[in-house]
Amino acid sequence: NDNDLVLERIVDVPPELVFKAWTTPKHLMPWFCPKPYKTVACEIDLRPGGEARLTWEQHGTSLVRVEKVEPPHCFSFRWARGMNAVPGEGNSTLVEFSLSAEGERTRLRVVESGFPALDGTFSANASGQVLAGADLPGRGTTADSNVALFTGTSPDTTLLDRALNDL
């Protein structure tokens, strides 16, 4: 779909470690927020229908509903627009992570979809999504930096690398 945001990268660790970095609060918190922001709390009920809460010092709490969990190959969730919003029709996007082994490395594919179905909150709250394109309306520095974490164009890339090395 032309409206989906897609990112595919090779990561120099096995899928099990990448999966842990995305689904374990203590491993997600240190890197899932670009500088100068800080993740101060994270809870993940890692089962379909489970809830996750990510709290950022500067922005408040974002709610997520887990959709699919197939360790270590697949993880997906609905990410709500706006702080403290419960993910539902018209206010959330679907984020899907696919992990496949390539020797000792991992092919990570992340797809964020559902933008056309969002209600009028899109342009006002778009900066809170996992993937972001600077060419889309409402994108802020937080989301742009999250993309940079995966593309290797940010100094914050070392945060993800460190989290993976600590697993």
Per-residue pLDDT of the chain (167 residues; tens, 9 = 90+): 778 888 888 888 899 998 998 899 988 887 777 667 788 999 999 999 999 999 988 888 999 999 999 999 999 999 888 889 999 888 999 999 999 999 999 999 999 998 888 876 444 334 334 444 323 223 333 334 444 444 444 444 445 555 566 66
pLDDT score recorded for residue 162:
57
Short-list 18, 129, 114, CA closest to 74: 18
The neighbour count for residue 25, using CB atoms within 10 Å, is: 16
Burial class (CB within 10 angstroms; exposed 0-12, middle 13-18, buried 19+) of 161: middle
pLDDT score recorded for residue 33:
74
pLDDT score recorded for residue 21:
87
Collapsing DSSP to helix, strand or coil, 37 comes out as coil
What is the reported pTM? 0.75
